[in-house]
Amino acid sequence: MAQNKDFWHSLLNKLRRGDFFKSFSITDAKPSTEFVNSHPLINKFFHLHKTYRVTHFAEFNGSICIPQGRALVERFTPHPSLFTAKKAAFTLAEVLITIGIIGVVAAMTLPALIQNKQNKELQTALLKNYSIIQQVLEKMALDRGARPKTSDFGYLEFAPEFMKYFNHTVKCSESQEGCASKTENENDSTDKTLIKEYLTYNKSRNVSTTYFDDGKFRTVTEYYLFENQNSDLLIITVDVNGIKKKPNIWGHDLFSFQLLENGKLVPAGTPDTKFHDKNTYCSANSSNKLNGIGCTYYAITDRNYWKNLP
């Protein structure tokens, strides 16, 4: 029987599109072997439905006649395996290039993200310790009957009294484990005695012991240092994440507060106080041995401070 080319090409197109067919009728005619072999979808169609003797197709209306002669009306949905023609996919080279690009982008962005997270943690720790110091001074005021003032304390008297209001403290000496230690720099004409563990704000040198040598103690998470030599100046400095954790830099994780004569506690660097000169005491370009002591005020008040650390 002659081949119905229009029918088989129509079927081929529908198989390619994945169309759903209604029932159809099959009588005695089938496409040529050459046609079947040259069109894989038709070939698969015959393979899946080889129990049927294909003779005639009446689209959308009819029945499939099987060898026993029984009529069967059914809805035909193309089998998924009919549509396993090659699909677009990434080559190994494309995948490797994509992974490489992702790696480069990650290498560029992750350090900044990690640094921002660390800075946020240090900022939070600074505000927490500012509050703690204020609370301790309030308790001291209750016990004393008046707010503590700079002139209330003689040389080395403040740190021992201040420390009593903390739990789990360790008083530090020069060579004690977990405490700050001194180092000598013969080439430093301004101050030969420095603190080994701490750097100034711009990391250009170690900090001087000048405002750190009148008492030191550590808690579980913080490290406190004091200046209490003169009756007109009392400085409380705190390493907000402890001496054992980096960065150990003034103005980064090390912050100073000044107790005024009227009993008010202010961040060092506050306008009209001793360390208000930002170009000297909180500058990326200053070589002063106290560079960083005046940064506390800006770390608390300047919203861009933590984004611009040197």
The token duo for 96 is: 């490797």
Tell me the pLDDT tens digit for each residue of 31-83: 566 656 666 655 655 555 444 433 333 333 333 333 333 333 333 444 454 44
254 vs 249: CA distance, rounded Å: 6
Question: Which is more confident, 232 or 218?
Answer: 218
179 vs 65: CA distance, rounded Å: 95
User: Residue 266 to residues 126, 205, 242, 257, 275: CA-CA distances in angstroms?
Assistant: 13, 26, 21, 6, 11
Question: Which is more confident, 9 or 72?
Answer: 9
Tell me the pLDDT tens digit for each residue of 172-206: 987 788 899 888 776 666 666 889 999 999 999 99
- Domain assignments of the chain as residue spans, ordered by start: 5-83, 120-307
Of the pLDDT bands very low, low, confident and very high (cuts 50, 70, 90), residue 211 is confident
The token duo for 275 is: 């360390």
Task: Output the pTM of the full model.
Answer: 0.68
- For residues 299 and 251, is the Cβ–Cβ distance under 8 A? yes
User: Residue 49 to residues 26, 42, 45, 52, 296: CA-CA distances in angstroms?
Assistant: 12, 11, 6, 6, 83
Query: For the residues 252-271, what does the mean pLDDT come to?
Result: 96
